[in-house]
Amino acid sequence: MLVRIYTDGSARGNPDGPGGYGAVLKYVDPKGALHEREFSQGYVRTTNNRMELMAAIVGLEALKKPCEVELYSDSQYLIKAFNEHWIDGWIKKGWTRGKKEPVKNVDLWKRLLAAKEPHQVTFIWVKGHAGHPENERCDALATQAADGDNRIVDQGV
């Protein structure tokens, strides 16, 4: 079962301003019918990178059984962490990088790894703000959530 997940994060006044994420999941069933779900949430105070990670987490956590997943994001931070194996090095070094600096957003990286575990995930980078329809939709969801009234507290900031 192939599911395509499109994600984006937004933060106003990054870092530490209001922010939000957007995720769109698409699946075509064996009869050819398209199923689509959208997710978004705003936060009172967060960072863009945290929202990029949250979008991917929420998309993967929405899946009820193991799937083949294509996860699309305009976040180099997210995509390179997996495609260039940054995350493997961080784990080997006890969640440190470079000169023993702690990796930022460890709480979300660990949650993302757990959400990813049952699935076969391919991470695909898309250029942001370049007319990619699903990326533009995710951006709209993320910015609407960041600017909305129902923002929650990001416990990891």
The catalytically annotated residue of 13, 36, 117, 129 is 129
Is residue 74 flagged as an active site residue? yes
154 assigned ligand-binding residue:
no
Is residue 84 flagged as an active site residue? no
Closest-CA residue to 70 (of 37, 26, 133) = 26
- Strand order across the beta sheet in which 68-73 lies: 34-46, 17-28, 2-11, 68-73, 120-125
Is residue 147 flagged as an active site residue? no
Q: Residue 157: helix, strand or coil by DSSP?
A: coil
Considering just the CA atoms, what is the radius of gyration of the chain in Å?
A: 15
The catalytically annotated residue of 19, 22, 42, 74 is 74
Is residue 149 flagged as an active site residue? no
Is residue 9 flagged as an active site residue? yes
DSSP state of 126: -
The catalytically annotated residue of 20, 22, 119, 139 is 139
The catalytically annotated residue of 42, 52, 134, 154 is 52
74 assigned ligand-binding residue:
yes
Q: Residue 32: helix, strand or coil by DSSP?
A: coil
Is residue 52 flagged as an active site residue? yes
147 assigned ligand-binding residue:
no
Q: Which residues are annotated as a binding site for Mg(2+)?
A: 8, 52, 74, 139
Q: Which residues are annotated as a binding site?
A: 8, 52, 74, 139
Residues serving a catalytic function are 8-9, 52, 74, 129, 139
